Amino acid sequence: MIDPIKILKRSWHILWHYRTLWLFGLFLALTASGGGGMGNVNNLFSYRMEGNGGAPSGVFERWLEEFFRPLAQIPDNQLLPTLIGLVIVLICIFGIVGIVLAIAHYVSQVALIRLVDDYEAQGTQVSFRQGWRLGWSRKAWQVFLMDLLLGLPIFLWVLLIIPIIGLFIAGASAQTPAITAPAVIIGIGLLLLWVLALIIAGVVIGVLGEIARRACVLQDMGVIEALRHALGLLRRQWKNAGLMWLVVLGIGIGWGIATLILFFLLIPLYIFMLIPALVIVGLPGLVIYGLASLFLAQPLAVLTALILVLPPFFLIVFSPLVLLGTWEQVFLSSLWTLTYREIMALESTNLANDLSQAG
């Protein structure tokens, strides 16, 4: 059996003694879960100024009316093309950003695996540029394809929820009690089984993916070969893999609780970071607004500027939490890389023992 305490200590040592990895961890933190989620801003204009003591009411509504007045002045035959053009431009911009983030994600993932493996094997540290060159390889593309293949079963399983929900709705809306009750019970039972199977499949595919990525990167295997190799390791070393999954689960829970507590403790720091955030994004925001106002009405120009500058603005304001996410990504990546090395060492030992017994 592998020693999880030893692996945790080594991962902790690597985190604090190999700080070049932080830059790659930053890219992973910003692109995790589909590219991050700091760009969503809800209820931007949810405040309403109410009249008090004879003061006029509806001030905010009148401000909105004045704000959107230029939009109303656009001829009807030009309004729809203007909106369509704005949507197309934003889709292109976010599409380009998404491609760049995806490249950064997979290059950083490969770089972290290779750098940690080299550091553990040889004790060498390299610069960010050298690490990026190691990550910028065919392996990044192969890891991307591997993630697509691993996500396909989950996607297909998620589609099965549609007929289950249809059965539940059909049974609940039936007028005959003899049909309604059994259909609802069966629908709830199928839903619970579906959720349980989804959780189990997610765990297995997640562990399989961690092993397969390292087999692909460190042993120069193709996508299918790496998946087969990882599946064989998972069958033979399921106890060790399951143990490390439990360790990672515990770390995730503890990290989540700590992050939640720090989120509130760091509120004064967020307020302080508002100043540099406004300074950094202010000028680009004004430039974007100025360029957009040449082609769009004032409300659309402001909206375009806000959409483009709010993500980096919130990124700067909440940079302490981003730093925590960076450390988490580096630590977990190192943890799985060291686990893979330990499992492969056990495989070599078991093979040598089998050969010696056969001889």
Q: What are phi and psi of 212, to 5 degrees?
A: -65, -40
pLDDT value for 194:
84
Domain boundaries, the chain: 4-33+87-348
Instruction: Using the predicted structure, report yes or no on whether residue 195 has a pLDDT greater than 80.
Output: yes
pLDDT in tens, 211-248: 999 999 999 899 999 999 999 999 998 999 999 999 99
Instruction: Using the predicted structure, report yes or no on whether residue 118 has a pLDDT greater than 60.
Output: yes
pTM above 0.85, yes or no: no
Contact in structure between 167 and 186 (CB atoms under 8 Å)? yes
pLDDT in tens, 257-314: 998 999 899 889 989 988 888 888 888 888 887 887 776 666 677 777 887 888 889 8
Instruction: Using the predicted structure, report yes or no on whether residue 18 has a pLDDT greater than 50.
Output: yes
**Token pair for 338:** 């060291």
204: confidence class by pLDDT, cuts 50, 70, 90? very high
Q: Of 159 and 63, which is predicted with more confidence?
A: 159
Average confidence score pLDDT of the chain: 81
Residues 153-174, mean pLDDT to the nearest whole number: 74
Q: Of 347 and 141, which is predicted with more confidence?
A: 141
76: confidence class by pLDDT, cuts 50, 70, 90? low
12: confidence class by pLDDT, cuts 50, 70, 90? very high
Dist CA 168 CA 183 (whole Å): 6
